[in-house]
Chains A and B, each alone.
Chain A
Amino acid sequence: MIELILKRVALGILTLLLVSALIFAGTQLLPGDVASAILGQNATPQSLAALRQDLGLDLPAWQRYLTWLQGFATGDLGMSLANRQPVADLLWPRFGNTMALAAYAAIVSVPIAVLLGLAAAVRRGGIFDRGINIVALAFVSLPEYFLGLLLILFLSVQFNLLPSLADTYAGMSFPDWLRATTLPALTLVLVTVAQMMRMTRTAVLSVMDQAYVETAFLKGLRTKRVVLRHALPNAAAPIVNVVAFNIAYLITGVVLVEAIFNYNGLGRFMVDAVAKRDLPLVQAAAMVFGAAYVILNSIADIAAIALNPRLRHPR
């Protein structure tokens, strides 16, 4: 068990290392660099050369990568090239914002998804099951930016119930914060609930078809007890998996949602950094996203092992 977990952690670190190298290589392929992005239409060859030297962009790419990696390994995220502020100061508050929004969405969506999934599984083939499936499929197939714009159109522009700008700032009260972030959170909830709900339903149903469940019913147990005590624990692994996957998505997939609602999170920040070719910022943000993804997936894997007696006690 411990060995398995250690293995997962080692694999995760290797993945992150590969991600960092890929991101670095990717940003090198993009046309232009931070110097030309800063100077824009006002760039002259002299000012470009001066700025590049100033920022250390005249060094070879591999050398810059190694310098960055060395700093990263020792916990130093470096300085932003564009405004010479420590990356950490810019990054962590926005990471906090992204996590807060993800948490808000997850707290709402996970219980709803699991309950709806269970209900649909129990009433397999009924009106409720079919109805909820159609609705779920509809939301899954709508891209989040479209869904976000629809919500803005109806809830914000037409009926003025909620603000279309997720305008948050330090020192705002919690109810204000909730109000400001409800639309983006709702968009994320709608996108993620559908998938988790369908997965829960499928997982529970596949267990419900097994002989021991039938035996439980034949013993005269009530549906509720069969589902909660006998079926659900055995269906837990795939559910936890899809939940972890969706939470990872809530953290890493919010770029578009943040843009639509103008939310000051890590996704918007990263887009900004890429546009400015601000490599330390891009790298740091990519590593945070990568780490969130790897960690949540590892948790899902480990949970699957922990929840499955056959994997827990391999023969």
Chain B
Amino acid sequence: MSNNQSPFALSRRQFMAGAAGLGLTTLASGLIVPQAFAQEATPKRGGVLKLGIGGGSTTDTFDIRVLNDWVPVNQAYMTFNGLVEIDKDNQVQPELFESWEPSADAKEWTFKIRQGVTFHDGKTLTAEDILYSLNLHRGEASTSAARSTAGQFADVVKVSDTEIKIVLDSGNADLPYILSDYHFLIVPEGFEDWTKPIGTGPFKLESYEPGVRARFTRNESYWKPNTAWVDAVEVIVINDIAARTNAMMSGQVHAINQLDFKTVDLLKRNPNLEVVQSAGGQHFTFLMDCTQGPYTDNNVRMAIKYAIDREQLLTTALRGYGKLGNDHPIPVTDPFYAADLPQRAYDPEKSKFYLKEAGLDSLDIELSASDAAFSGAVDAAAIFQSSAAASGINLSIKREPSDGYWSNVWMKAPFSMGYWGGRPTADQMLTIAYSSTSAQNDTHWKNETFDAKLVEARALLDNAKRKEIYAELQQLISDDGGAMIPMFGDYLDAVSTKLGGVTTHPMFNFMGARLAEKVWLEA
């Protein structure tokens, strides 16, 4: 259950060299225990953890239905618990659900509720609380962002005081993973006052100024063993990347999220901090609309996929902090990753070949680019422009404003840029962006074989068989889909060397947004 048994071993070389070289001994001596020792050292209780988090605004709330940015999500995980938890190895682990059992067709799932858990107000967790919390995301009137995910729950019923059953529209072997969505958090039955959140989580909210700061104190009766080490957590919202980095460099906070790829290498020189690099499902896309010319022709799509220098893009735009993409959205960290699929390389000759197949000598296209898609997107477009020229593709870059990018350009322009955050399962990722009925199918790609196999794989409990089908689906997207996916970006955080218990995590920054619960302060 506990996820902090093996702290992530990070390089200590820079720490030793840097501390001696810069003469920062006053800062270093006695205060910083190198992680190699911390690994053996037992966790310590106490201290005030200060987090500088980007991704908050004055409109933030604790309402679990509308959590949509990193500050509210991290704060929600301090206050509430989920039903399940994704561990650092991308495996689902029990949280408020203690265990589960699917029916043979994966349509009906019975979950055992953890007993003896209490809310911050002293009330004991019951099946009714879980029903109420899940139902917040269901029904016609629900304003929840997880409404479409919860839409597949045909019924959620109480079996006994210790068990509930979820009945699905159709079989889904990934249900426990789906329940790890950060909207599926648990509040007491009938709870409505989101300004005074009550959960079963590791910390209690003490003071709150949305978009500015928040302070939490430890829930002394927290049920989860080996967690909630610090006495209090202070969250300072720092949206400006430079301000966030400065706060980390000057030691005002113990950890910051979402580092700038461009400055990570400089940040690493600082002896008082560690950079945590987590591979995950976050990937960056060049989206061709399969319903708009010339991208209706797969030869054109293939020509474009061979016209990009992925290696160069990765080393330039992400400074190497990522993985090469193979034109499908499943990351290496996913158990269903198609490892046998050969990596597509930069090949202007092949690209020209496909253009010829499409009956073209050269291709004039326009790419709508904006840093709203991801930080460095416009630079990435320029790199693509120069590598594509070799295969006779004349790319013009149309710079779009960041404001309104998602409503005015994304899914509307024939060729645009975008990104996807990781999803806990291959099925979710493939469904949301590639199934023909999804509202967020951002390439408008429709493939009946794909749709049918996706549904088939979803209901299978046999993982070997599933892996086979998912490999086929990845190849299908890679060879026919409308998305050119050149790279996956790692999640980058910086943490103070005073923090113990920090690990990488495949979901999101800050250990799946649960850092506050897991870490302790050394000395």
Contact = CB atoms under 8 A, between A and B. Distances in A.
Contacts of A264: 209, 212
Given A41-B410, A82-B59, A167 B403 contact: no
A2 B278 CA distance: 69
B213 A275 contact: no
B348 interface: no
Given A32-B408, A42-B145, A156 B250 contact: yes
A272 B58 contact: yes
B406 interface: yes
Interface stretch (B81-89, B111-119, B238-246, B291-299): B238-246
Nearest to A162: B250
Contacts of A32: 403-404, 407-408
B250 A260 contact: no
A261 interface: yes
A152 interface: yes
A31 interface: yes
B252 interface: yes
A36 B406 contact: yes
A90 interface: yes
Interface in B413-450: 439-440
B68 interface: yes
Contact of A157 (B60, B246, B403): B246
B236 A167 contact: yes
Contacts of B250: 152, 156-157, 160, 163-165
Contact of B236 (A43, A165, A275): A165
B439 A80 contact: no
A165 B252 contact: yes
Interface in A163-188: 163-165, 167, 169-170
Q: Tell me which of B145, B207, B406 has the highest count of chain A C-beta atoms within 10 A of its own C-beta.
A: B406
Contacts of B320: none
Interface in B308-345: none
Interface in A11-37: 30-32, 36-37
B211 A272 contact: yes
A222 B59 CA distance: 63
Residue from A30, A48, A82, A262 whose CB has the most chain B CB atoms within 10 Å:
A262
A43 B243 contact: no
B57 interface: yes
A40 B252 contact: no
B412 to A, nearest CB: 12
A262 B210 contact: no
B59 A83 contact: yes
Contacts of A44: 439
B252 A260 contact: no
B403 A260 contact: no
Contacts of A276: 57, 59
A259 interface: yes
B33 interface: no
A82 B59 CA distance: 6
Interface in A124-164: 149, 152, 156-157, 160, 163-164
Contacts of A273: 58
Interface residues of A, number: 40
Nearest to B243: A262
A30 B400 CA distance: 12
Interface in A70-89: 80, 82-83
Contact of A167 (B68, B246, B252, B406): B252
B168 interface: no
A165 B240 contact: no
Contacts of A152: 246, 250
B68 A40 contact: yes
A244 to B, nearest CB: 30
Interface in B35-93: 52, 57-61, 68
B371 to A, nearest CB: 13
Interface string A214-240: 000000000000000000000000000
A149 B242 CA distance: 9
Contact of B252 (A38, A164, A170, A275): A164
A104 interface: no
B59 A275 contact: no
B247 interface: yes
Contacts of B397: none
A74 B165 CA distance: 56
A40 B59 contact: no
A118 B324 CA distance: 64
A43 B406 contact: yes
Nearest to B234: A167
Contacts of A167: 213, 236, 252
Contacts of A293: none
Nearest to B401: A31
Interface string B206-248: 0101111100000000000000000000001110101100110
A259 B249 contact: no
Nearest to B52: A165
B299 to A, nearest CB: 30
Contacts of A269: 58
B61 A83 contact: yes
A272 B237 CA distance: 12
26 contacts: A30-B404, A31-B403, A31-B407, A31-B408, A36-B408, A37-B403, A40-B406, A41-B410, A42-B68, A43-B407, A83-B210, A157-B249, A160-B250, A160-B251, A164-B243, A164-B249, A164-B250, A164-B252, A165-B246, A165-B247, A167-B252, A259-B240, A262-B243, A269-B58, A272-B58, A272-B211
Given A31-B407, A32-B404, 5 more contacts: A32-B408, A149-B246, A163-B250, A164-B252, A276-B57
